[in-house]
A and B are shown apart, each in its own frame.
Chain A
């Protein structure tokens, strides 16, 4: 059952990867990356239960944090062209 769940998560990851490759706009790719990160968290959880080592679940927490920070950085960059700072506020 866990194997079927992880395989279906992997198929979803493959679909997100295809969207990131094709994606014409920036936001298709951002959404694909965000979904990919979420699916990685899910995949780690399922794989931990499938292999019986549930103490690796902490990694899934770290991944969701990383996904959030990376997404904020990507969106800031795509909106402002760089990462804020004094000069950036003036150029707004």
Chain B
């Protein structure tokens, strides 16, 4: 098990190196690519932490959709980041203070896999006991049955929200040239009706 911890440390080190690369690189196209690498690594890390559903989401949203959306944004802006002339001291202090506050907050959290943690003691055990019978067979993962069946309407609502947000982003990123050709026509129609 100690050897597997070595793998965990290696993955976390690669995550940190990628994050520094995203912050340092000036070519925005390369930065988008590094965020893709970061999502792949982050999803692998979530898999190591026994969260396959979150890893699925991170792979689909982080590595798939958001890369495409950021490239679409790059098509509307320039490829190079303008060098900032402001002093980086104040943002650095803010980031360090926020980060140390967050790390201080994790000190109160229970250890990973602690059986006495609230997440393992407060939940109604009937989900685990009845899940296999309710799902008519062998369901290897209780999370899936809770997410897709017991909380099905909740998940449907979340999907609707994400779908609406995707439509909004697509409308924002639409090519401006198309609208210019449409606008005079609609103006003419309005004029002819009026």
- A66 lies within 8 A of B75 (CB): no
SS of B interface (majority): helix
A29 vs B79: C-alpha distance when bound (angstroms): 15
A-B pairs under 8 A by CB, number: 107
CB distance from A39 to the nearest CB of B (A): 9
CB distance from B31 to the nearest CB of A (A): 11
- B55 lies within 8 A of A3 (CB): no
Given A40-B40, A70-B63, A74-B67, also A14-B14 (CB < 8 A): yes
A2 vs B45: C-alpha distance when bound (angstroms): 17
Given A51-B4, A82-B72, also A33-B10 (CB < 8 A): no
A74 vs B43: C-alpha distance when bound (angstroms): 20
Is B143 positioned at the interface, with any CB of A under 8 Å from its CB?
A: no
A50 vs B63: C-alpha distance when bound (angstroms): 25
- B75 lies within 8 A of A74 (CB): no
B-chain residues with CB within 8 Å of residue A44 when the two chains form the complex: 44, 47
* Interface set of B (CB-CB < 8 Å, partner A): 3-4, 6-7, 10-11, 14, 17-18, 21, 25, 29-30, 33-34, 36-37, 40-41, 43-44, 47-48, 52, 55-56, 59-60, 63-64, 67-68, 71-72, 74-75, 140-141, 175, 177-178
- List 9 tightest A-B contacts by C-beta distance, closest first: A82-B75, A3-B3, A40-B40, A10-B10, A77-B71, A66-B64, A73-B68, A66-B63, A55-B140
* Interface set of A (CB-CB < 8 Å, partner B): 3, 6-7, 10, 13-14, 17, 20-21, 23, 26, 29-30, 33, 36-37, 40, 43-44, 47, 50-51, 55-56, 59, 62-63, 66-67, 69-70, 73-74, 77-78, 81-83, 85-87
